Amino acid sequence: MPGADKNTDLSERIEAFLADLKRGGTGAGPLRGSAETARETTALLRRITAQARWSSAGDLMEIIRKEGRRMTAAQPSETTVGNMVRRVLKIIREEYARSRGSSEETDQQESLHKLLTSGGLSEENFRQHFPTLKANVIEAINELLTELEGTTYNIAMQALEHIHSNEVIMTIGRSRTVEDFLKDAARKRKFHVIVAECAPFCQGHKMATSLSQAEIETTVIPDAAIFAVMSRVNKVIIGTQTVLANGGLRAVNGTHTLALAAKHHSTPLIVCAPMFKLSPQVPYFPFSPSHSYEQRSVTHSLWWVRREILSKVNVYCPVFDYVPPELITLFISNIGGNAPSYIYRLMSELYHPEDHEL
Amino acid sequence: MADSGVTDGAEKKEDITRVKNEGKELSKEEKQRLRKEKKSQKKNKEKKDEQDALASEREKNCAPSTLSQPAAHKEPAASPPVQAAVSEPPAPAAGAPPADKPAKSKAELKAERRARQEAERASKPGKKGDPGPQSTAGKPKAPPSELQPVVKRLPEHVQVDNPEVLKKLAKKLERQQTPGRGAALKIPLRSDYGYKVSLFSHLHQYSRKAPLTQQLSIPSTVIHPVIVRLGLQYSQGIVAGSNARSVALLHAFKQVIRDYVTPPNEELSRDMVNKLKPYISFLNQCRPLSASMGNAIKYIKKEISNIPSQCKEEEAKTKLQDCIDRYIREKIVLAASAISKYAIEKISDGDVILVYGCSSLVNHILCEASEKHRKFRVIVVDSRPRLEGREALRRLVKHGISCTYVLISALSYVLPEVSKVFLGAHALLANGYVMSRVGTSQIALVAKAFNVPVLVCCETYKFCERVQTDSFVSNELDDPDDLMVTRKGKTQLEGWQQVSQLGLLNLVYDVTPPDFVDLVITDLGMIPCTSVPVVLRVKNVDQ
């Protein structure tokens, strides 16, 4: 039966994607950037919408929620997967509401007034069947995909507004967004970049070679020298893995130190992050390692240790740092620049509150 | 006076040569006189050369007929105005003096010249010259005032971008060779390596693969072999850490003193200091001297010059070796015990202590504390490219202390569970800043943000009178190739030299502002960072 073939084909693709996600996390497979992950997730969700069997919006949302839970469980630190799932769920809600004819704004926002006046009814069922819903949803997902493809370009376009000549810019580790940002500015302006190498994986080295090939004067410094050279730095521009709901960051380890040093010298800290990295997660305190931190293999930092010492020593190698929003000056995303205090508002436009927990 | 000196000196010289031939030791006054004569003769020779040069110039410029007569018998009297003219630019002098000279008398000219020489000498404060022919016996001592104006000469190692300074250094190294021996035996000038980041163009950057000793010929008669070995150990990083370097230096000097033989007609106190100067230049070239080494050298020089002249050589040498032993014992070993005693009061049971890199003093404190049965655990923070924390880890684990090891980028991850931070110091500056291994200021900054107390442990012999507010003006640049690393068989930064826009920066030290440091534990007690100039003053008054 054609339906069964489609189903097996679909489930195969989903399994392949999950396996990829799991492998990418352990560092064994090819490292993929968040943008790629976001694109692939969205493409997969579009395929699910097109090929899975569903009759009403509610069914579709259930299916997507189920698959989304599996995908986020495969690689918890890769938050873009969950973000894309929530975006698609929001799209479905919007399209459903539009098909029903009611305006979207009144439905979504919960206000005290609404709670008092509505009094518990209007439990949206999403059970109504609309024939055009499928096509609409797929079209909306295509728009989302186009938006995803243009994020890096949109961010890089804003570079000249933020970088002037003869500046000294500091960055840490390797971020493709920041790389394109700086290369775009370098076409018109001359400035100097200092890259902190971010041990033990030293992604900063690759960033430095790539920037120097674009004719940008680059210097590589070890992580220990961040505070020492910060007094001569004009701006700090970093990328991040995730933007949290309170405006804080989950970024590569060493970023918190960098942010503190920048705060001490009153140097602006600019974060270049596309909107698909915005996640409704909040950091909860105390920030315990089992929840949000991840430990990579420590063999890189320990190859030199003799066995008798190794057995008596604990070694930690966290991958991410939490940076509180007070240390951040500006977010540059594909929709423009924002202060960290505005992030909650952007989030409410992207995701529906009921989708925060998948 | 210079003229009369020529005639006088001839007689005195006969006396002195007679005494020399008899093989007796000259008395101190005779030695001083001999030195004065040598100096004045040198000056006469120089004067005569310049005089000849100027005279020939003058004869070329002015009409030969009018000046031939006055010029001829102006020669001896012309020497004073020529010397005065030397200090001014020669061009206008050539025209003016011949017209002035007939008006002034010889005595007035002499007085003029003397005044000018005094003015010149007064305007060169940093230069320590032997008393010239003008001064009276004994140097006038500067009265110890409350606020002595300190006009320091900027050290050479922070003026690498000034070509004149480099030329002067090259000349100084040449002068320190055995005279008349040739280029193979002088101290070579070490050349910089690689592209230097523009912010640091005033500092040296050497490569470890090209140590200075390769340019020396063996055996070198200028430099004692113990010093050559020490220099090599410094430049290759075999002896590292400020205490280790100072102790190694002092032991090497002890050996030098043991092997020293006073040459005839020289005083031990003066000659030995002169002998030590090329060694110090050599070691400075191998690796810039640390503040602790600088203080140790000052102490040795003072002790040597305080040796009374009637002291016999063997006695003097034993005395100096005892002084060095006492210095090491008091300032380093006993100080470490005193500091441990104070520091152990600050360690309570159940503490989690964070240390950075490998500081011999902090390791000593922790080992002593564990022997006194305090229950604590240690987190060792390490950083690339030196990775000195490995050594600290090894020492602590050997003593049975439970340890954790992280890299400095994981600092925000471990700090919430830390109760105290113990840091070592390379030097404590007079404005309260702590100069230490690069990364220390970062640790202090993040610890402050997490409200964790920061304690710095430092012996008083590392206190220095310099002031510094950032890590740029005076620092040390290590070999930039150390930053390269191979991950998964690929070296990302290989061939960084060929890429014109790429630079690697390997700093060695940084300065921590005093507001990040809560307490400094020294052998004199526990003081706040701002009390460092008080300690320095107390030390100076003692000495």
pLDDT at B541: 77
Nearest CA in chain A to B446: A257
Rounded mean pLDDT of B229-248? Answer: 91
Q: Is B251 exposed, middle or buried (0-12, 13-18, 19+ CB in 10 A)?
A: middle
**Total beta-carbon pairs less than 8 A apart between chain A and chain B:** 161
Contact of A216 with chain B, judged by CB distance below 8 Å, is answered with yes
Which of A197, A212, A287 lies nearest to residue B502, judging by beta carbons?
Answer: A212
Q: Where are the alpha helices (DSSP H) in chain A?
A: 2-26, 34-51, 57-74, 79-100, 104-108, 112-118, 133-157, 159-162, 176-186, 203-213, 226-230, 255-264, 289-292, 299-302, 307-310, 343-350
pLDDT of residue B376: 94
- Look at residue B5 in the predicted model and tell me its pLDDT: 45
How far apart, in Å, are the Cα atoms of A152 and each of A34, A290, B87? 12, 32, 69
Tell me which of A103-117, A264-278, B177-191, B507-521 is least confident.
B177-191
- B90-147: pLDDT as tens digits: 444 344 444 444 555 677 777 778 778 777 766 664 444 443 343 343 333 444 444 5
Supply A59's token pair: 């069914």
Average pLDDT score over residue span B268-288 = 88
What are the C-alpha distances in Å from B521 to residues A101, A130, B358, B362? 75, 77, 17, 11
Q: Which residue(s) pair with B421 in the sheet?
A: B354, B454
- The predicted pLDDT at position B326 comes to 95
Q: Is B505 close to A286, i.e. CB distance below 8 A?
A: no
Q: Nearest chain A Cα to B405, which residue? A: A315
What would the mean pLDDT of B298-319 be, rounded to a whole number?
Answer: 89
Find the mean pLDDT for residues B152-179: 73
pLDDT digits 0-9 by tens, B459-470: 999 998 889 999
The alpha-carbon gap from A214 to the nearest alpha carbon of chain B, in Å, equals: 9
The whole-number pLDDT of residue B61 equals 55
Please give the residue that has the higher pLDDT: either B458 or B157: B458
Task: Evaluate the CA torsion angle A246, A247, A249, A254 in order and state its sign.
Answer: negative
For B68-90, what is each residue's pLDDT tens digit? 444 444 444 444 444 444 444 44
Across chain B, mean pLDDT equals: 78
- Has this prediction a pTM greater than 0.80? no
A300 touching chain B per CB within 8 A: yes
List chain A pLDDT tens, one digit each, 358 residues: 555 676 788 888 888 888 888 887 555 555 567 888 899 999 999 998 888 888 888 888 999 999 999 988 888 888 899 999 999 999 998 888 888 876 555 555 566 676 666 654 455 677 888 888 889 899 999 999 999 999 989 999 999 999 999 999 999 999 999 999 999 999 999 999 999 998 888 889 999 999 999 999 999 999 999 999 999 999 999 999 999 999 999 999 899 999 999 999 999 999 999 999 999 988 865 444 433 344 555 555 555 556 667 778 888 888 888 999 999 999 999 989 999 999 999 988 899 888 888 8
Q: What is the pLDDT of residue B104?
A: 56
- Tell me what the mean pLDDT of segment B174-196 comes to: 61
- The rounded percent of chain B whose pLDDT value lies above 70 is 73
Residues of A in contact with B387 (CB under 8 A): 304
**Percent over 90 (pLDDT), chain B:** 38
pLDDT of residue B77: 43
